[in-house]
């Protein structure tokens, strides 16, 4: 497709496709770095059309490559996230001894998930809007892909170990994406479960922040930082210069 040609033209590297049944995501794109000859797009074999997942993953790489080299940064954990999640878990709900013993494990898992979603959905909404605007031929498979992501995200509302559940503020990026998906698809149902979970207002705040900022790639870091400040995730990560 034309999107992959743009990736190959901007990077000077081809994209190699590799099926990978172990993936939890439907597709992931590994950048060619440290002299690697190709970008590697791994995908989970299925009967679903791959075009949307490929385009979505390629969108992240394109936004990076379209920036001047001095504006390219990686998103890196600072090591503070798990401890902060432990604090949220310990103060947000009554816990028995078993729950307290499970806090470190649940906090590590939740911190990893929250960091991934902060960046993925802040920038991912911009990618989805771009695909919807510039590639109408993908409309049907995009709708199916967006629906699949929404169904997967709903599982997070019931994710628990004992009495431990994901702290409400950390659900805000998926609530924001549900509101965005309703708007993109002309629906009104994806966001409903997040109201019952008590996070829809914060999700709406994140969407408003996104709408108020330029969608140019040079502002992606600013958007993620603004979301992090609203959620309480400032200091959980740092932007480090990208090394090809």
Chunked into runs of 10 residues, the chain (244 residues) has average pLDDT values of 86 90 84 90 79 91 92 94 94 85 94 94 96 94 93 91 93 97 93 95 98 96 98 96 88
Q: In this structure, are 119 and 147 located in the same domain?
A: yes
Q: In this structure, are 207 and 167 located in the same domain?
A: yes
Q: In this structure, are 136 and 223 located in the same domain?
A: yes
Which residue, of 33, 66, 99, is where some domain finishes? 66
Provide the pLDDT for residue 91.
Answer: 86
Burial of 34 (0-12, 13-18, 19+ CB in 10 A): exposed
Burial of 221 (0-12, 13-18, 19+ CB in 10 A): middle
DSSP 8-state assignment for residue 69? G
Which residue, of 39, 66, 93, is where some domain finishes? 66
Report whether 153 contacts 178 (CB < 8 A).
yes
* Distance (Å, whole) CA 169 – CA 88: 10
Provide the pLDDT for residue 166.
Answer: 94
Which residue, of 43, 66, 89, is where some domain finishes? 66
Residue 31: strand, helix, or coil: coil
Provide the pLDDT for residue 27.
Answer: 85
Domain range for 166: 73-241
Total domain count, the chain: 2
Q: In this structure, are 123 and 226 located in the same domain?
A: yes
Provide the pLDDT for residue 244.
Answer: 81
Q: In this structure, are 46 and 82 located in the same domain?
A: no
Q: In this structure, are 181 and 94 located in the same domain?
A: yes
Provide the pLDDT for residue 64.
Answer: 93
* Distance (Å, whole) CA 112 – CA 81: 8
């Amino acid at each position: 497709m034309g999107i992959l040609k743009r990736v190959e033209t901007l990077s000077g590297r081809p994209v190699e496709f590799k099926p990978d049944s172990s993936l939890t995501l439907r597709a992931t794109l590994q950048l060619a770095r440290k002299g690697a000859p190709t970008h590697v797009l791994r995908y989970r074999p299925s009967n679903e059309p791959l075009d949307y997942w490929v385009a979505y993953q390629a969108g992240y790489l394109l936004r990076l490559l379209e920036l001047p080299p001095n504006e390219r940064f990686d998103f890196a954990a600072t090591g503070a996230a798990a401890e902060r999640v432990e604090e949220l878990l310990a103060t947000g709900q009554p816990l028995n001894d078993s729950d307290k013993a499970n806090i470190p494990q649940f906090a590590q898992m939740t911190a990893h998930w929250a960091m991934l979603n902060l960046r993925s959905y802040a920038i991912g909404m911009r990618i989805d809007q771009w695909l919807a605007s510039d590639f109408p031929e993908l409309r049907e498979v995009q709708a199916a892909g967006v629906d699949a992501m929404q169904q997967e995200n709903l599982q997070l509302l019931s994710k628990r170990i004992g009495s431990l559940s994901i702290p409400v503020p950390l659900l805000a990026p998926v609530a924001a994406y549900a509101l965005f998906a309703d708007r993109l698809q002309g629906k009104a149902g994806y966001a409903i479960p997040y109201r019952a979970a008590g996070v829809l207002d914060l999700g709406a705040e994140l969407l408003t922040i996104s709408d108020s900022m330029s969608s140019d790639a040079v502002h992606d870091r600013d958007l993620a930082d603004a979301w992090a400040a609203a959620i309480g995730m400032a200091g959980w990560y740092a932007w480090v210069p990208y090394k090809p």
